[in-house]
Amino acid sequence: MPLPLGPKEITPPVLLAPLAGITDLPFRNLVSRFGAGLVVSEMIASGEFLTARPGTREKAELGAQIENTSVQIAGREPEPMAEAARQVVDMGAKVVDINMGCPAKKVTGGWSGSALMQVPDHALRLIEAVVNAVDVPVTLKTRLGWDDSARNAADLAKRAEGAGVRMVVIHGRTRCQFYKGHADWAAIAEVKQAVNVPVVANGDIIDAATARQALDLSGADGVMVGRGAQGAPWVLAEIAAELYGTPAPDIPTGSALADMVCAHYEAMLDFYGATLGNRVARKHLGWYMDRAETAAPLRQQILTEKTPAQVLRLLPEALATAPTEAA
């Protein structure tokens, strides 16, 4: 079951994907408490990270030193990528992940993320620079390719392995698919056959059934869950329990769910400050209430409320009667 990652092992082989604006420290901590082999930070743009105001960098990666945390970096030039990797390791990061999979136009427009799959020689220079800059395991996250005419994930993964990358995560779509259609888990098998390092399947994995199917079709060594964890921070532990026999999580329902969501909300207020925290938390509160089938008027009231104390007062009413199957 464990995934070897240099001197480390990932147990269980169920990982939390990096999601911009979502996998911040409060959410990673919550997912970790339920159970996850590895949680990955939100993507850090190397250039912006290096020129950030004092205190901003520490805020961005507070928690990097936590044992099961990987810090993801992105960029388009080797030197800033290498320096960003060195600095996050100095902050305590145990694993550094290189983003070559983000499909967002604001990222690919700057020749970062999945745009690098169009220039594999340059992508390899970035990989080599990061691997040579740090003494912790370096991993790589990509898509199948830029589009269907250029599915080069297997070749890039093989070259990355030669450069010293210790694990590869593949989202089963091309960049030009964005999140449309369904992830092609079977296509990940070509990457698995090309390398000896662990390969992790990503894309549309939302529960144990989809995780099992992704593993069967891809031959991958583990799975990475992204959007499936939104509003369900316990889902990684559920998958691990069913597929690998780890202890089943105690999934909160009713008043226990309300208590957990309130605690998550308060953690976000502490992390970001009350005003920003209240705004950032709304997406999470919305996902929780969607699963709980909260009545639309109450849901709207909570998501537009500006006073944290009032949000905390309303949340138990919104979630305490959540149906078990929705939780």
Check which CATH number belongs to the domain holding 225 and give it.
3.20.20.70
- Tell whether 42 is covered by a domain: yes
- Nearest CA among 284, 279, 289, 276 for reference residue 315: 289
> Do residue 106 and residue 35 come from a single domain?
yes
Assess whether 110 and 31 both reside in one domain: yes
Print the domain residue range for 230: 3-244
To the query of whether residue 102 is one of the catalytic residues in this protein, the response is: yes
Quick one: 206 and 98 in the same domain? yes
End position of a domain, from candidates 226, 244, 262: 244
**H or E segment and range at residue 254:** helix 254-272
**Burial (Cβ within 10 Å: 0-12, 13-18, ≥19) of residue 262:** middle
Sign of CA dihedral 156, 158, 162, 167: positive
Q: Is there a domain that residue 327 lies in? A: no
Longest dimension (CA), the chain: 56
Position 291 in a domain? yes
pLDDT score at 326: 41
> How far apart (Å, rounded) are the C-alpha atoms in residues 178 and 108?
12
How would you classify the pairing of strands 167-171 and 138-143? parallel
pLDDT, position 65:
67
Task: State the pTM of this model.
Answer: 0.93
Query: Which residues participate in the annotated binding site for FMN?
Result: 72, 141, 171, 226-227
Binding residues: 72, 141, 171, 226-227
Q: Kindly report, residue by residue over 59-71, the tens digit of the pLDDT.
A: 455 566 677 889 9
From the candidates 60, 88, 102, 229, give the one annotated as an active-site residue.
Answer: 102
> Do 146 and 12 have their domain in common?
yes
In sequence order, which residues have a C-beta less than 8 Å from that of residue 235 and are 6 or more positions away? 206, 207, 225, 228, 229
Structural domains counted in the chain: 2
If you compute the radius of gyration of the chain from its CA atoms, what whole number of angstroms results?
Answer: 19
* Residues in the chain, pLDDT under 50: 59, 324-327
